């Protein structure tokens, strides 16, 4: 199972979708060297005064992947995204693709400027990517979007179990490996580099 940081979700989180994904991630088999950060704030966000990523998945030899989770029935009307709950009430939501992409770029930028990023490691030169998760919807083979590849998307079928969630993350990692395969400046992260990225994005500290 992966290392979850924090180990448990707070009771004040209202998102049933995030709770479902968190529980599934926590039980994924054969992922002992993976680290998953939940609810990572972004002070210097490129498009918002304060941003946040639902999950950041850090996998040695694969990459660092930012995930945006949207629950409910998701639909888009005239360019505006909406989520409809079980009672048929719709609410406008932020574009999840842009959210995930912007957050991923913010993390890469933060890591590149961190004094804990050794010049020899060049952490910003490792794979950074993003994905979007709709645990309550059926998307595959039904909806195609130019801004989001099918491999980047997890729907209800992908969120059924820890095994299907792991399969989605491996599919996402392969998508980004192929996307960067001709870019010699981008490398897959070693276990050491993945540990440093984790420590930079969610460090422990004691200010007493």
Helix (H) or strand (E) holding 83: strand 80-84
pLDDT at 2: 95
Q: Which of 103, 105, 124 is nearest to 114 (CA)?
A: 124
Q: Which two tokens stand for residue 183?
A: 């870019």
Give buried/exposed letters for 102-120 (b at 16+ CB in 10 A, else e).
bbbbbbbebbeebeebeee
Q: List pLDDT tens digits, range 108-150.
A: 998 988 888 877 678 989 999 999 999 999 888 888 888 899 9
pLDDT at 30: 96
Q: List pLDDT tens digits, range 5-41.
A: 998 887 776 688 899 999 999 999 999 999 999 998 7
pLDDT at 88: 85
Task: Name 201's Cβ contacts closer than 8 Å, sequence gap at least 6.
Answer: 37, 40, 56, 58, 107, 110, 111
Q: How far apart are CA 176 and CA 188, in angstroms?
A: 10
> pTM of this prediction?
0.92
pLDDT at 191: 95
């Amino acid at each position: 199972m992966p290392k979850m940081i924090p180990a448990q979700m707070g009771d004040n989180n209202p998102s049933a979708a995030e709770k479902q994904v968190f529980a599934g991630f926590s039980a994924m088999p054969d992922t002992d060297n993976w680290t998953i950060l939940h609810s990572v704030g972004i002070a210097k966000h490129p498009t918002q005064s304060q941003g946040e990523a639902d999950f950041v998945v850090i996998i040695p030899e694969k990459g660092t992947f930012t995930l945006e989770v949207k629950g409910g029935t998701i639909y888009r009307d005239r360019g505006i995204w909406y989520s409809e709950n079980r009672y048929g009430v719709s609410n406008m939501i932020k574009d999840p693709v842009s959210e995930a992409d912007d957050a991923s770029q913010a993390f890469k930028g933060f890591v590149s400027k961190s004094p804990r990023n050794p010049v020899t490691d060049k952490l910003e030169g490792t794979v950074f990517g993003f994905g979007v998760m709709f645990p309550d919807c059926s998307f595959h083979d039904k909806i195609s979007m130019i801004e989001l590849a099918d491999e980047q998307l997890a729907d209800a079928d992908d969120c059924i179990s820890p095994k299907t969630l792991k399969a989605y993350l491996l599919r996402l990692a392969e998508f980004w490996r192929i996307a960067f395969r001709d870019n010699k400046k981008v490398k897959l992260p070693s276990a050491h580099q993945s540990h440093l990225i984790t420590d930079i994005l969610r460090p422990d500290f004691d200010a007493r």
